[in-house]
Structure 1
């Protein structure tokens, strides 16, 4: 199996939902929500890609970083790479349903584990979607992170109990899912959370809790205040609000404010190991990958996902060699022009 074959197969299986464009930049699929595009004009999706692409790298080759170390530790677990699978659901209405939710969840969990890393699983308009992800994590011996949509408090607490029973590594909430069109269409109420509501949720579990959907310094501070164990800088792939900044545009400011107190993870427009290097240079500790892994799963299942992640990790390692970074900790703003 190679990535060319994976992409060809995915193009057939995703027909009518994703064009598997040569460059996944949100232009061809603007406004296609449900679907794979960005909301409205698609500006937020496009900004993710464009802002990341605007950063250039300083090439350095007079150094001793000949065999860089890409390993990363998250919540005590050693990973081969700082590249993780993002939480995703909605295979029928977003991707056409060639994979059902159970097949998708098992592919992302097993593919990530084979590549030496972790996947997150998602929550969606059908509550069974969340359970499919948790079930797949159980098969992966708890090595995965389920994310819960910002549902009503009682529902969130029920979903938390399910995660605890499954003995997962950590749990999260994609607060950026507040107001999701796909949830609204299916009668599943979601919305913003107050500080008090987040404190109630986080204090009710002993699991490390990740808040995904942080796009400002003030909300990063709130996340720390309410007890988040990590944050994800994310605009939900540009799928919830038109005309937000790209995540690469605001990442360094947020990372500087957090100042190492908790891990800062980021997603949005990351398509290669070089993109991963840029995000780490801007202050991220790790990254989440979404659309590229959808294509890989539809084109090659768990094996396709593992191949994509190993390819990106090898690209990251090569980029580290050519920028003089022997470890992830050595990647900083000096890498960027």
Structure 2
């Protein structure tokens, strides 16, 4: 592309041009037929915005708070693994971009920079993503390291009792780098007869993880616990009952179970079930500021972005990540002005209509 990108979507093509096919497929791909991967983006097009007029929008305030921490806009960085496959500086570049944009980064459990390296690279609020291994001691050590190094919350990802079938990675025989967070704790190398070291995760993950284990996690950390991977109201209600501090509506970027709902299609029901008892965040398919607006109108306190960050990182390093976040923020600001919402708290359910709602003119 000869010109500078003018939208977040254009970074994907830039990333495709610079990344080895194996690595691009790893980031861009989804599970099996990739139906949910497509739906995560396309479902936003079935939600329309209901703008209000003659409201003073001469000043737009994008700022909000998450678990008491101030951020410049309701746009956070989702946990995504292996940033060094996208750029040599890896998660350090992403963390610096998040700090510059005054937002929160969730560091992936499978990061290629260590917990300590990311913590020391710049001053910012960060959360840490956790999977639970069969060896609970491995997970416990990572939680304790995150807490010691100033991470402010644990994001427990619960939609991965087994690794989803990602056929592009299988065909490419993807080999991930040794993960430095696990050095001297557990080996992530594979035997010569295995197709890729994705199989390490299938072997190591604890498929017995269940609701009672929230108490185990609470027993090893004082940090707030958010649960990521909720798609149905029944699980949202249960999460509130067991005392989590927040919920993230997510289908794992459509990388786990294909033919689950698009994340945005599940948000309304989950928010209704939670009833304001804990904050609800949203992850999946955000490519425009209008997408952010729609998620906020349906009850999310903030959105998390994953692939756009990776594509920005691959294309232009730290600067590319900052560009992605700034583009979404600028588009959100314009959307709020045109929809008659001077601040994030002014955005509510009345500002959007889903495909299930009859137009008001027909009532």
Conserved in 2, the CA contact under 8 Å of 1:180 and 1:190? no
Cα displacement (A) at 1:107: 1.5
SS at match of 2:73: coil
Conserved in 1, the CA contact under 8 Å of 2:34 and 2:258? yes
Aligned counterpart for 1:307 among listed residues 323, 347, 355: 323
Aligned counterpart for 1:239 among listed residues 255, 259, 268: 255
Kindly indicate whether residue 41 of structure 2 is the aligned counterpart of residue 36 of structure 1. Answer: no
Kindly indicate whether residue 216 of structure 2 is the aligned counterpart of residue 200 of structure 1. Answer: yes
Q: Deviations over 1:134-193 (max 9, x none)?
A: 521333335211101132333222211111111212121111233125743454324352
Q: Which residue of 1 aligns with 2:182?
A: none
CA distance in 2, matches of 1:304, 1:192: 39
Q: Deviations over 1:171-218 (max 9, x none)?
A: 211112331257434543243521211111123211111111011111
Q: Which residue of 2 aligns with 1:22?
A: none
Aligned counterpart for 1:178 among listed residues 149, 152, 161: 161
Q: CA 1:288–1:194 in 2, change beyond 3 Å: closer, same or farther?
A: same
Q: CA 1:35–1:109 in 2, change beyond 3 Å: closer, same or farther?
A: closer
CA distance in 1, matches of 2:142, 2:19: 30
Conserved in 2, the CA contact under 8 Å of 1:123 and 1:130? no
Q: Which residue of 1 aligns with 2:360?
A: none
Aligned counterpart for 2:104 among listed residues 104, 118, 125: 118
CA distance in 1, matches of 2:333, 2:124: 28
Kindly indicate whether residue 337 of structure 2 is the aligned counterpart of residue 321 of structure 1. Answer: yes
CA distance in 2, matches of 1:9, 1:194: 41
- Structural RMSD (CA): 2.2
SS at match of 1:249: helix
Conserved in 1, the CA contact under 8 Å of 2:228 and 2:248? yes
Q: CA 1:77–1:226 in 2, change beyond 3 Å: closer, same or farther?
A: same
Q: CA 1:164–1:266 in 2, change beyond 3 Å: closer, same or farther?
A: same
If the length of structure 2 is used for normalisation, what is the TM-score?
0.80
Aligned counterpart for 2:87 among listed residues 91, 99, 103: 99
CA distance in 1, matches of 2:321, 2:268: 29
Conserved in 2, the CA contact under 8 Å of 1:281 and 1:333? yes
SS at match of 1:73: strand
Say which one has the larger Rg.
2
Q: Which residue of 1 aligns with 2:76?
A: 84
Q: Which residue of 1 aligns with 2:171?
A: none
Q: Which residue of 1 aligns with 2:5?
A: 3
1:54-93 maps to which residues of 2 (within 5 A)? 54-91=46-83
Kindly indicate whether residue 146 of structure 2 is the aligned counterpart of residue 163 of structure 1. Answer: yes
The runs of 4+ residues in structure 1 deviating greater than 6 Å are none
Q: CA 1:223–1:60 in 2, change beyond 3 Å: closer, same or farther?
A: same
1:202-217 maps to which residues of 2 (within 5 A)? 202-217=218-233
Cα displacement (A) at 1:289: 0.2
Q: Which residue of 2 aligns with 1:280?
A: 296
Name whichever of 244-253 and 45-54 sits farther off: 45-54
Conserved in 2, the CA contact under 8 Å of 1:130 and 1:146? no
Aligned counterpart for 1:14 among listed residues 19, 31, 46: 19
Q: CA 1:148–1:47 in 2, change beyond 3 Å: closer, same or farther?
A: same
Conserved in 2, the CA contact under 8 Å of 1:115 and 1:310? yes
CA distance in 2, matches of 1:232, 1:241: 17
Conserved in 1, the CA contact under 8 Å of 2:292 and 2:303? yes
Cα displacement (A) at 1:133: 4.3
If the length of structure 1 is used for normalisation, what is the TM-score?
0.86
Unmatched segments (≥5 aa) in structure 1: 20-31
Name whichever of 239-248 and 216-225 sits farther off: 216-225
SS at match of 2:123: coil
State the number of aligned residues.
314
Conserved in 1, the CA contact under 8 Å of 2:44 and 2:291? yes
Unmatched segments (≥5 aa) in structure 2: 165-196, 354-363
